[in-house]
Amino acid sequence: TPDVGRDFIRDIVAADLESGKHKGVVTRFPPEPNGYLHLGHAKSICLNFGIAEEFGGRCHLRFDDTNPAKEEQEFIDAIQRDVRWLGFDWGEHLHFASDYFEQLYAWAQELIRAGKAYVDDQSAEEIRLTRGTLTEPGQNSPFRDRSVAENLDLFARMRAGEFPDGTRVLRAKIDMSSGNINLRDPVLYRILHAHHPRTGKAWSIYPSYDFAHGQSDSIEHITHSICTLEFEDHRPLYDWFLDNLPVPSHPRQYEFARLNMTYTLLSKRVLTGLVREGHVSGWDDPRMPTLAGLQRRGVPAEALRDFVKRIGVAKANSTVDIGMFDFAVRETLNRTAPRRMAVLRPLKVVIENYPEGEVEELEAINHPDDPAQGTRKIPFGRELYIEQDDFMEEPPKKFFRLAPGREVRLRYAYFITCREVIKNAAGEVVELRCTYDPATRGGNAPDGRKVKATIHWVSAAHAVSAEVRLYDNLFATPQPEPGNFAAQLNPNSLEILTDSKVEPAFKNDAAIGAVQFERQGYFVRDRDSTPERLVFNRTVGLRDSYAK
Ligand code: ATP
Ligand code: MG
Ligand code: MG
């Protein structure tokens, strides 16, 4: 048995292999292609594919494509891309519930023949109203005792497309007074004249999730069918189908807690609303908790896998602090991202005693803890940009950066002293006239004098203009509820800086991925960039409020 970070599901798998109940483990990740994958799916993917990897088994990617009204090829493609991006591979085992439609239909007929299913002519509303409640039993449908022959005939005609949507369903005949409402004659098939992304117009009826899921697991010889807690109440039904049909195997369903995170909603249905209502630019908006959005924001797949490992797998629902996610992202990026200098809100600095037209190249290290990342040359000249908030005309006590008459260090360069402040007609500071000390090249004074601050900068003549997109939580409320987004969204979730300046190294390096802008945070180039105009997304800031 492999020695891995254990949780109750891995314990079950290990015990089943040890006892010989199973020779190998087979899991599956079963998304419905009705949207893009999100952070919650990352937990399920890492669990299912992770178990397969750790125990030498396999994990299938199976699309639960049983509701063509909501499913699209775009989502089927995006889901595959995102699972791969996260670092997992299903090999030959790409499956679709729709591959089993013919078999599922045959099994439904089998239930009818055994007197365990019937066609119900009641509307969805009537069925809902006669389901009963937790304290009250349901009522039998007036169509419950139809003959097998009539049921077979009606079911065949449902399939043939004779009846309009919603006029009939096929139901299992189980127990209308069961304590478990899922067992009160659940719906197996509904009529839907819709175009299916894979089967086209071949079917006019579609199986329910419950009727498709366990049988698909069985056909694929899944050993451990791992799902989230909302399906716990469905487990008796899952087993009922497998016990009452001549299926090739009987997988077991296990439930774990879904991922919930503060300031975030994790459900495809809900995220669809954000996209449809235009609150975000699309599924891959960098503020979305989708894998596509997180990737575009600059979150490395490795950080996602690491986050999932940190949160673990449990049986009780809980909510993870979003700070824990940011922490995992910073951990990975701090280790890997090369350092660069960028001035987000530029303020012009002119070094009056630096010769006009002269340029020198200074050496900067790419990563303080990783010498293998080497060094680069950055140009320095008479005109520079520094960050607006690295200067204060009337600095308060604890402000040690640039101020009139004060000396600071320019990172990798020289000490400079502010001699004069130039303002525009509105009284805003638009330029600083400074002097530099040529003896401090590299950042130290031969006479041993100290400065209290080191600030970043870029050469005005060489800097590349950039748009920088600063992201914050999409929701302003820590526990957002589905619906009524307008009242809950953070109006400041996106701030766009249109006049930022980045060091020229970026111009010739289209391949560079995530970077740290020194003193600012982690950024990644957005696909909206052009050679003339770079666009960066802030992945996460440097601040680290979450304790180790
Ligand atoms: P929908 O809102 O359409 O139900 P969903 O976000 O629940 O979408 P599904 O396609 O139903 O996504 O789920 C695919 C798989 O991912 C299921 O096994 C489900 O249990 C799991 N999953 C979904 N959301 C989470 C989550 N937040 N945490 C962990 N696993 C999840
Ligand atoms: Mg679903
Ligand atoms: Mg779901």
- 488-540 per-position pLDDT tens digit: 999 999 999 999 999 998 877 777 889 999 999 999 999 999 877 899 999 99
Q: How far is the CA of 224 from the centre of ligand 2 (A)?
A: 19
User: What are the angstrom distances between the C-alpha of 531 and each of 460, 509, 534?
Assistant: 18, 10, 7
What separation in Å is there between the alpha carbon of 544 and the centre of ligand 1? 30
Which residues does residue 351 pair with via DSSP β-bridges, in sequence order? 434
Q: Does ligand 1 come within 6 angstroms of the Cβ of 32?
A: yes
Q: Which fold has domain 342-455?
A: Ribosomal Protein L25; Chain P (2.40.240)
CB distance 242 to 250 below 8 Å: yes
Distance 39 CA to ligand 1 centre (A): 10
CA of 32 to the centre of ligand 2 (A): 5
Mutation pick for ligand 1 pocket among 44, 59, 70, 317 (CB with most ligand atoms within 8 Å): 44
The average pLDDT across 175-192 equals 98
Residue-wise pLDDT for 254-279, tens only, equals 999 999 999 999 999 999 999 999 99
DSSP string, 254-310: EEEPPEEETT----HHHHHHHHHTTSSSSTT-TTS-BHHHHHHHT--HHHHHHHHHH
Provide the 8-state DSSP code for 508.
G
pLDDT at 546: 44
What is the DSSP annotation of 374-433? Answer: -EEEEEE-SEEEEEGGGB-SS--TT--SB-TT-EEEETTS-EEEEEEEEE-TTS-EEEEE
For the chain, residues classed under CATH 3.40.50.620 are 8-256
For the chain, where do the domains classified as CATH 2.40.240.10 start and end? 342-455
The pLDDT value given to residue 509: 74
CA of 350 to the centre of ligand 3 (A): 59
Split at pLDDT 50, 70, 90, the class of 5 is low
Q: Where exactly does CATH 1.10.1160.10 map onto the chain?
A: 259-339+467-502+518-548
Between the alpha carbon of residue 315 and those of residues 8, 245, 258, 295, 405, the distances in Å are 8, 30, 9, 29, 62
pLDDT in tens, 357-373: 999 999 999 999 999 99
Residue 507 is predicted with a pLDDT of 79
Q: Residue 334 and residue 310: Cα distance in Å, rounded?
A: 17
- The model's confidence at residue 544, banded by pLDDT at 50, 70 and 90, is low
Among 37, 60, 258, the mutation site with the greatest number of ligand 1 atoms within 8 A of its Cβ is: 258
Q: Class for domain 259-339+467-502+518-548, per CATH?
A: mainly alpha
| Proximal ligand: closest to the CA of 228 | 1
**Percent of the chain with pLDDT strictly greater than 70:** 98
Q: Which residues hold their Cβ within 5 A of ligand 2, which is an ion?
A: 32
Look at the chain and count its residues: 548
Q: What's the average model confidence in pLDDT over 150-159?
A: 98
Active site annotation includes 518: no
Annotated active-site residue in 258, 310, 348, 433: 258
Q: Report d(CA 220, CA 251) in Å as an integer.
A: 10
**Within 10 Å of residue 427's Cβ, how many Cβ atoms?**
6
Catalytic annotation on 28?
A: no
Whether residue 545 is predicted with pLDDT greater than 50 in this model: the reply is: no
Tell me the average pLDDT of the chain: 95
Q: pLDDT digits over 9-63, tens only?
A: 999 999 999 999 999 999 999 999 999 999 999 999 999 999 999 999 999 999 9
The atom number, within ligand 1, closest to the CA of 267 reads: 6
At residue 459, the 3 state secondary structure works out as: strand
Mean pLDDT value across residues 141-166: 98
Q: What is the mean predicted confidence (pLDDT) over 461-473?
A: 96
| Residue 253, ligand 1, Cβ within 6 A | no
Exposure letters 440-453 (e unless 16+ CB within 10 A, then b): beeeeeeeeeebee
Contact 467, 498 (CB under 8 A): yes
Mean pLDDT of all residues in 440-448: 94
**Are the beta carbons of 485 and 279 closer than 8 angstroms?**
yes
Find the mean pLDDT for residues 410-425: 98
Q: How far is CA 548 from the centre of its chain?
A: 23
300-358 pLDDT, tens digit per residue, is 999 999 999 999 999 998 899 999 999 999 999 999 999 999 999 999 999 999 999 99
Is a pLDDT exceeding 90 seen at residue 280?
yes
Does the structure show a pLDDT above 50 at 548? no
The answer to whether the CB of 336 is under 6 A from ligand 1 is no
The CATH class for the domain spanning 8-256 reads alpha beta
Confidence of residue 483 (pLDDT cuts 50, 70, 90): confident
Name the H helices within 97-188. 101-113, 124-129, 148-160
